[in-house]
Structure 1
Amino acid sequence: MSSIDFAYHLFGDRHPSRGLSTITYSPAFTLVPTYECFNRCAYCNFRVDPNRDNWLGLEEAASRLRTLENLGIYEILILSGEVHPRSPRRLALMQRIKDLCLLALDFGFVPHTNAGPLSFAEMQCLREVNGSMGLMLEQLRDDLPVHRQAPSKHSALRMQQLAWAGELKIPFTTGLLLGIGEDEGDWAATLAAIATVHQKYGHIQEVILQPHSPGTDQIYDGLGFDPQRLPEVIALAREILPEAIAIQIPPNLVADLQWLLRCVEAGASDLGGIVPKDEVNPDYEHLDLDIIRQELTKARKELRPRLAVYPQFDAWLPSAVKKVVAQLRRSNLEVSQAAHLP
């Protein structure tokens, strides 16, 4: 087996020349610079009001990262609330995010940042310290009641972000939030928009199909998305999206293992970041990974870990990030090769 074959085997990434019966996930840990956010999405269980949160300090972040050594964690998700773009504290937030990414790299982890819509200059800056970045498109519609007090959820802003990520060669994750007042036609339109921007730049790694699941802190009185309809949306996504884009589903929001398997059969190939706590959906704990693995094995699927950046995008990475990614791939390759020696 060649070195690149080993890399794909080890991290479960899609091999460009063969269709592997594999489901991937990212062993991850989340750092939240701040929960404060100027948006008021009706379904949110994450935010606190502006100026009502103590930002995560670097010493505390280092202490948390230190506990992760030798636990098989590869990705540090930097997930932030949004300080208003015109706020005098906006620059400080961007610097804090960058410093957290640098800290993660120093510990040998690959950062992945999702901090809401960014300016081109902010994306350009954060590109230098991230393996990949992300922003949910959610839905193309701008008339959804859940977003009436959420100006940064305007679809044009988010589509601009996807395009800028392509121009800057940033491996990118985006996705749909399902069950927030949209209809089936909206799913197709949103997926088609993602497909179009990817066809131009080739930078979308994954599309998340996230069923809205009611939480204790939200004000939206919707019932949430029926996870039993998720295979239907996955099949539609697989029809519209280029094959190179992985379809991701969050397993803690599809708690019925049989329906999780139905989602896999419909075309889902990734379970996203498996973290100790889902900060966006704190009421929903992740299923036990061993149980998921056992059920997938029965269905002739193999669950494999992956990095926050897929190997086909390694050449895009800035030097500081590429060094960490290469070390992770190399160190795990050496372990795997040793295990295969007679």
Structure 2
Amino acid sequence: MRPLRLRGAARLCDDSPRRRPPARLETSPLRNADSDASPASAPPSPGADRPRRGLRPSRTDVERWVGEIVSGVGADRSPELGRERAEALSRVLHDEAIRQIVCEGARAIKQARTGSRVTVSRNLFIPLTNLCRNRCTYCTFAKLPDSAEAHTYTVDEVAEVIRGGVATGCIEALMCLGDKPEIAYRSYREMLATRGLSSTTELLLEACRRTLEVGMLPHTNAGILSKEEMAALRPFNASMGLMLETTSRRLREKGMPHFHAPDKEPARRIAMHEEAGELKIPFTTGMLLGIGENDVERVDTLLTIRDLALRHGHVQEAIIQPFHPKPDTKMRDVPPLSDDEVVSWVALARLILPPEVHLQAPPNLGSDMLPRLIAAGVDDWGGVSPVTIDFINPEAPWPALRRLRDETVAAGFELFERGPVYPEWILGRPDFFDPQMRALLPRYANDEGYAQRANDQSDEEAA
């Protein structure tokens, strides 16, 4: 096979201005995870679970492997990057020349699937409740019931926010909320009872119904939901999602980020992904980078997402989300990944995941490296709101849509707005929508499936 040749665009992976990688905390267990820890799903090949001792491919090997993946895009069944090769690549991503090869391959896959188009969703972020039974050591979203910042929306409050979104041309309403606070807090259960509700899911259903009535399309990320709960929500949601985050069971051990987070048990999250696929729900998932997982666990997470997508065909997009340390959390002193690391894993994700799964990177978590992310295969910026903040990462403001468009164009691409469902799903996947939702979607999409708003605003007005 003819080797891939590097082009100027691929060098954006390395040549753009970037900050110096932070010093490692050599004594921190979060940054020195045991290399031999086993991932949650299928175990690695014998001996391949040692990130620093296994196969270390040459540049020629990498060119050949990447070339095989790229050349198969568009075939009935594209070649897959196997576990052993994926782990081997993860060991050499620090090599600048190899990173360029991987980025060029990722960009070629993006070009083959979506051409010059990069998408974004003009949305609202509604934190329906910020109470949560999990206590992840990196999270500032979850509040305790007695906190002055604790809040659970009424349906009327939801409607008021939605009206503001409609006025600024938003289509997608992201319903994001804590996991099952009624399990942990009696006061929350009592509050629900005063509203005539017995569960957070009932509140969510009411909020989604009202959102549709006012004129936006809900996308729900409510943490772990049962199959019955997802089935009840399906008619009132254009799409749903759950970040897989990681398949590492090690992060559930004492002293680790998910020790006090029962809903971060990988098996539970994988099971929900499976059930969403069985229900034919357009689904968003993704990986959280930099919370203490090692390279083997990252590869396993991406392979698990790939297997779920291939098995059920329901994964619309995968988000590669880098950890950002936040004040007043136990992980406030854990350094973030360097830009090079983030770009490397974005590109490797593009090589591992099915080409039809869109690859998303939140632009507010990498605002200084947007061209590098596009060069690494990103084809979607996710939800960007002209109205609400990112309640998960409140320290990171959304970029203005005008700036996002300008930077995307400067990188050689075009920015297209979408709703919570990608165009190819609206036009070609009718079986993934309840009849009621299937009838609604054309109101929000043009003939190509991209966003169409009744009250369209210019970028200057809306962001």
Give the corresponding residue for 2:125: 30
Asked if the contact 2:162/2:216 (under 8 Å) is kept, the reply is no
The higher radius of gyration belongs to 2
Residues of 2 paired with 1:227 and 1:334: CA distance?
36
In structure 2, what residue type is equivalent to 1:46? F
Residues of 1 paired with 2:442 and 2:114: CA distance?
24
Deviation at 1:296, TM superposition (A): 1.7
2:249 to 125, 142, 149: 142
Give the corresponding residue for 1:311: 423
| TM-score normalised over the length of structure 1 | 0.88
Deviation at 1:156, TM superposition (A): 0.2
Give the corresponding residue for 1:9: none
Deviation at 1:288, TM superposition (A): 2.2
Asked if the contact 2:302/2:349 (under 8 Å) is kept, the reply is yes
Give the corresponding residue for 2:278: 167
Residues of 1 paired with 2:343 and 2:336: CA distance?
16
Residue by residue over 1:270-305, the C-alpha shift from the partner in whole angstroms, topping out at 9 and shown as x without a partner, is 110002300110111112221221122122111111
Give the corresponding residue for 1:271: 381
Specify the SS of the correspondent of 1:147.
coil
Asked if the contact 1:37/1:50 (under 8 Å) is kept, the reply is no
Give the corresponding residue for 1:81: 178
1:156 to 245, 267, 289: 267
1:327 to 443, 447, 451: 443
Q: Map of 1:102-251 to 2, 5 A cutoff?
A: 102-144=209-251, 145-220=256-331, 221-251=333-363
Give the corresponding residue for 2:372: 262
Asked if the contact 2:218/2:237 (under 8 Å) is kept, the reply is yes
Residue by residue over 1:30-69, the C-alpha shift from the partner in whole angstroms, topping out at 9 and shown as x without a partner, is 1122100111000001001257534200111112212222
Residue by residue over 1:235-257, the C-alpha shift from the partner in whole angstroms, topping out at 9 and shown as x without a partner, is 1111110000011001111021x
Give the corresponding residue for 1:47: 142
Q: 1:135 to 1:334 in 2, by over 3 A?
A: closer
Give the corresponding residue for 2:49: none
2:156 to 59, 69, 88: 59
Of stretches 194-203 and 219-228 in structure 1, the one that deviates more from structure 2 is 219-228
Deviation at 1:216, TM superposition (A): 2.4
Asked if the contact 1:38/1:49 (under 8 Å) is kept, the reply is no
For the aligned residue pairs, the C-alpha RMSD in angstroms reads: 2.3
Specify the SS of the correspondent of 1:128.
helix
- Tell me how many residue pairs correspond in the alignment: 320
Deviation at 1:311, TM superposition (A): 3.3
Residues of 2 paired with 1:252 and 1:69: CA distance?
23
Residues of 2 paired with 1:158 and 1:18: CA distance?
28
Q: 1:179 to 1:126 in 2, by over 3 A?
A: same
Confirm or deny that 1:293 pairs with 2:405.
Answer: yes
Residue by residue over 1:154-197, the C-alpha shift from the partner in whole angstroms, topping out at 9 and shown as x without a partner, is 00000001100100000000001100001222211100001001
Of stretches 17-26 and 109-118 in structure 1, the one that deviates more from structure 2 is 17-26
In structure 1, what residue type is equivalent to 2:124? F
Runs of 4 or more off by more than 4 Å in structure 1?
A: 84-88, 330-335
Specify the SS of the correspondent of 1:30.
strand
Residues of 1 paired with 2:113 and 2:353: CA distance?
18
In structure 2, what residue type is equivalent to 1:105? L
Residue by residue over 1:179-225, the C-alpha shift from the partner in whole angstroms, topping out at 9 and shown as x without a partner, is 00012222111000010011111010010000001122422131122
In structure 2, what residue type is equivalent to 1:230? V
Deviation at 1:86, TM superposition (A): 4.7
